[in-house]
Amino acid sequence: MTGGTAWLEVAEGRRTLAELRGIGPDTLGALTAIGHLLYQHGRDAEAIEIFEGLVALDPRAGYPHRALGLLYLRAQKLPQAVHHLNAAVQAEAATLDDGSGGCLLAEALLASGRADEALRAAERAAAVARDGAVRIRATLLARRSRG
């Protein structure tokens, strides 16, 4: 495969930059752990840099999008939060959808004044939640969204 063809596969979403560069799951996992530690210690700007890099390496991965959504929600950068939380919910729908990403998305949408969309996100989160606490949180968010 030529270099141009490989880059075309990345551009078309058939391959990730991480795959193209040979960056394996161990390295991606280590970067994720570093980003998580930075987040836990309130070093949000640095955590955002790590997770933005992870999204660039593999835009299909849900966790970096979820982490960015949470970081941007905490910083009240609501358009960015909604963007990344939407991406996380979509990425996790096929693998691990426990409703918690949908709850975060509902919170970001509600904070953005988008109550109808928040209601849909919260109802969907409640429907897929396997954990009682997540289901309760989603139900409460749905009630808040209704006004």
Question: Tens digit of pLDDT for each residue in 46-67?
Answer: 999 999 999 998 888 899 999 9
Read off the pLDDT of residues 99-118 as tens digits, 9 standing for 90 and up. 888 899 999 999 999 999 99
* CB-neighbour burial class of residue 52 (10 A; exposed 0-12, middle 13-18, buried 19+): middle
Query: What pLDDT score does 55 carry?
Result: 93
**What's residue 92's pLDDT?**
84
User: Which pLDDT score, from 0 to 100, does residue 76 have?
Assistant: 95
20 φ, ψ (degrees, to nearest 5): -60, -40
Determine the Cα–Cα distance for residues 54 and 32; give it in Å rounded to an integer: 8
Higher pLDDT, 2 or 44: 44
pLDDT digit string, tens, across residues 73-84 = 999 999 999 999
**C-beta neighbour count of 121 within 10 angstroms:** 30
The pTM score is 0.82
Q: Which pLDDT belongs to residue 81?
A: 97
pLDDT tens string 11-45: 667 777 777 677 788 888 999 999 999 999 999 99
> In the predicted model, is pLDDT for residue 2 greater than 60?
no
